[in-house]
Amino acid sequence: MELLLVSGIGGSGVSSVARGLARGFRDAGLSTAEVNSAVSAPVESSSLWSDAVDTFGAWLQGLGAASMSADELVGLGGLNELITGGLVAEAVANPNIDVVIWDMGSTREALRILQLLDTVPMLLDRLLTGPAAAQLSAPEPAALIAAWYRLVNHVVAARDDIRAATCVLVGEPRDALELVAVAGGLRLYDCVTSAVVLNKVEEFDSSASKKMSKSSRQVAQEAALIDQEFGIPVVRLPFRNIRAPKVSKTATRLRPLCKLLRDLPTNSSPGWSVSAVKKGYSFTFPLYRGADVRVGRRGDSLLLVCDGHRRQLELPAVLKRCLITGGGMKGTSLVLGFAPDPKVWRDTP
């Protein structure tokens, strides 16, 4: 594992868990870097920031807008997240860092960043190669294009790192159903959830009471639900009445999880798969049971929309020459049927 994404339900202790895991890895002797999406301080001191300012500034000028200063770009939606992604990619590529922990904040924020990192490289590429690029004005066009490509490369690296990353989701016991949906939604971006941390769980002392309390029963049921859907470990943190538990305490509780995550292999294969069936091919994309899914096709591209989040996917070569015959959610996965397009397939002898 090189990159660990930590996200969860807002207010459930996502950052506490991220800090606890970082401490746990450091205690185990691993060089660990922490990046927090909510903290923008390092972003503006990065060379990527000046690349972004140069390229966006030139774009605005090319479009006839007045030039902008770096300060004016600070609040531009998505730019901070893109640069943060670039910084994460730099940290992952750094041979002196063993583990990079990206605290992505709430799941809503995480999904937004993942969608952004998935869409922007394609968009930047189109802008650079499209007719409007001829309008770019800069004292040194070559330097501008180099800055642009550095930016695109970092965003692409961040996107690819995320696809190979391990993810830990954090929530309270009552959030289990939502966590299942989020874990499924993250799969849209090939991001696999490897563990769930249920925070603020009521401690159950079996020696003190023979009867489980209602909330303890609920925790057990919710944990079973997550386990049933994903077959992944669920860690419970008993900090119900503590507003800000000490990092060392959290790290101690998370030590077994750190060990488990450390030993996990890097996720190298995409989440989806293609298999040959009787009359063509079957395309399977794992999401989650009950996902609200829409599918569109444009030429060789497939557009998957899951609970409002979009991913554009280039079809594997064999499916480019096929027509979609139908499909839908089957259990926890989206399954699409493809049949050879008679217009482009040669007749078999």
Partner 1 sequence: MSEKPPWWFSGDDSASKGFDLGGLASGAQQMIEWARDSLLTNHQSHTDPAEHQQCVLCRAMQLFQQSTPEPTPADEVAFEWIELDPPKDA
Point out which residues bind partner 1 (CB under 8 A). 131, 133-134, 137, 141, 289-290, 293-299, 301, 303, 324, 326-333, 336
Q: Cβ 183 to partner 1, closest distance in Å?
A: 17
Of 11 and 328, the one with the shorter C-beta distance to partner 1 is: 328
Q: 97-108: buried (b, 16+ CB within 10 Å) or exposed (e) per residue?
A: ebbbbbbbbbbe
Of 65 and 76, the one with the shorter C-beta distance to partner 1 is: 65
Of 93 and 303, the one with the shorter C-beta distance to partner 1 is: 303
Q: Cβ 162 to partner 1, closest distance in Å?
A: 24
Of 41 and 134, the one with the shorter C-beta distance to partner 1 is: 134
Across-strand partners of 197? Answer: 170, 235
Of 126 and 217, the one with the shorter C-beta distance to partner 1 is: 126
Of 26 and 289, the one with the shorter C-beta distance to partner 1 is: 289
Q: What angle is formed at CA 193 by the lines to CA 187 and CA 194, rounded to 5 degrees?
A: 150
Q: Cβ 301 to partner 1, closest distance in Å?
A: 8
Q: Tokens 């995409």, residue?
A: 270
Measured distance CA(188)–CA(329) in Å, rounded: 14
Contact predicate 146/54, CB 8 Å: no
Contact predicate 287/184, CB 8 Å: yes
Of 77 and 326, the one with the shorter C-beta distance to partner 1 is: 326
Q: Cβ 299 to partner 1, closest distance in Å?
A: 6
Of 243 and 298, the one with the shorter C-beta distance to partner 1 is: 298
Q: Cβ 195 to partner 1, closest distance in Å?
A: 24
Of 260 and 329, the one with the shorter C-beta distance to partner 1 is: 329
The residue ranges of DSSP E strands in 65-191, in sequence order, are 99-106, 166-171
What one-letter code names the amino acid at 189?
Answer: Y
Which strands, in side-by-side order, build the sheet including 166-171?
Answer: 32-36, 99-106, 3-8, 166-171, 192-198, 234-236
Measured distance CA(315)–CA(319) in Å, rounded: 6
Q: Which long-range contacts (CB under 8 A, 24 or more apart) does 342-348 make?
A: 345/321
Measured distance CA(329)–CA(305) in Å, rounded: 13
Q: Cβ 67 to partner 1, closest distance in Å?
A: 17
Helix pair 47-62, 141-163: axis angle to 10 deg: 120
| Burial (CB count <10 Å: 0-12, 13-18, 19+), residue 174 | middle
